[in-house]
Amino acid sequence: MNSLGNRIEHCPILCKQDGSAIILRKIPLNDRQIQEGWLQDLIEKSPEVLPVSEIEPAFTPLISVGKEVPTSVGRIDNLYLSPRGYLTIAETKLWRNPEARRQVVGQIIDYASELSRWSYDDLERYVKTYNRKFRGQDLGILDTLRVYAEIPETEEAAIIDTIARNLQHGRFLLLIVGDGIREDTERMADFLRQTPQLHFTLALAELQLYQSETLGDGAILVVPQVVARTKEIVRAVVRVEGEAAAVHITAELTESGRQPVTLTENEFFHALGNIEDHGAAELARQIIKDMEDRGCSIEWGIGSLKVKLSDPSGSGRKFSLFSVDKNGDVYLGYLLNQLNELGLPEEIASELVRESGKIMGKSLPEPKSGGWWTKLSSLKELQEHYDAFGSVIEKTIERIRQLSSD
């Protein structure tokens, strides 16, 4: 694995349609046109420039809920919340002096420690204050999330619980964002992982900045990079529990050729392991394998896994086939809406519901447009009928594929 010291960097070249090329120059670290306030504003207005999806999908998409957040140990530069209920603390640094590099890790950990003392209501009050100041709207947490993502009413309580639990346990992504992350800063990440009292997900993200006078309008090309990955740091989760602040650290490293398990997946199986049906987790894993073998994808929601099929016609949309929540209950729903949107027969959804209900000996209501959903069974009940249910899902998939290609 190459270290940062061995990286060979090249300036990007912008090729135009007429065949000409524009060479973009890298903005030097000591260029005074770029200030930390500029970088802070950039990642607030355009959080997608931060490569968080490469670190842990549960923290994405980043939704800005705070800027210059006041705490007793200083102000958090930027604060984000994902629709799944995961918080990201971002600290921006332009590496113009060694002192900043030495202090930044301890500083962001202090911020995380302070934030872990907040309750859900504390965060709700701050989010409303932030929205009034910067968005001109009196929006709380859930209303803010709804602006950027579809939040079914059935998942509201789970989102609130997840946020409250993540605050209590100090489960945050600490993101140090700079314009030239140096190797000595990477060594700070190693120190964080090895220190038992530090309990957070840490990532170092470098934003390389390039510019050309030819482009005009002061346009700047931003090239993000997860520097911490060069040291194989994927996740270092720290839980601080109770008034005594007992510390538990879990460091998870990526093995060659193996995808890391997401936080939401870990929480889902942990919840399944606590219910009385001890075979629930095993069946859920079997479902994941079988559905992926059938060409479906698994998306992790708030305490649930969702089995989806990408539109064979290439629209980029996905069909929701069924879901399993963390209580071990299996649900059907939403497929009718997606069929309507893509001009496919509603009968596909109706037949899926009827056939699935027949397998379980139940008469389920016909699917309706809107936020319709219905419980099919528990995983325990589904166990002995699983092969037949899998055949119904496979038949549904084949009909969608056939009709999409006509």
User: What pLDDT is attached to residue 193?
Assistant: 52
User: What pLDDT is attached to residue 155?
Assistant: 81
Mean pLDDT per 10-residue interval, the chain, length 406 residues: 48 76 70 71 90 84 95 94 93 68 77 92 96 92 90 83 88 82 54 49 77 68 60 36 34 36 73 74 93 92 86 91 92 92 94 96 90 90 96 97 85
User: What pLDDT is attached to residue 78?
Assistant: 96
**Residues forming a β-bridge with 209:** 222
Of the candidates 348, 381, 384, 353, the one whose C-alpha atom is nearest the C-alpha of residue 366 is 353
Token pair listed for 145: 């999330």
User: What pLDDT is attached to residue 75?
Assistant: 94
User: What pLDDT is attached to residue 148?
Assistant: 86
What long-range pairs does 339-347 form, CB within 8 A, spacing at least 24? 340/369, 341/317, 342/311, 342/313, 342/315, 342/317, 342/404, 344/400, 344/403, 344/404, 345/403
**What does the alpha-carbon distance between residue 140 and residue 123 come to, in Å, rounded to a whole number?**
9
C-beta separation of 22 from 13 below 8 A: yes
Is pTM beyond 0.75 here? no
User: What pLDDT is attached to residue 252?
Assistant: 37
Of the candidates 347, 337, 338, 341, the one whose C-alpha atom is nearest the C-alpha of residue 396 is 347
User: What pLDDT is attached to residue 33?
Assistant: 61
CA 225 to centroid of chain Cα atoms: 17
**What does the alpha-carbon distance between residue 275 and residue 269 come to, in Å, rounded to a whole number?**
10
Question: Which uninterrupted H or E stretch holds 375?
Answer: strand 373-378
| Radius of gyration, CA atoms only, the chain | 24
For the chain, the domains span 4-253, 263-405
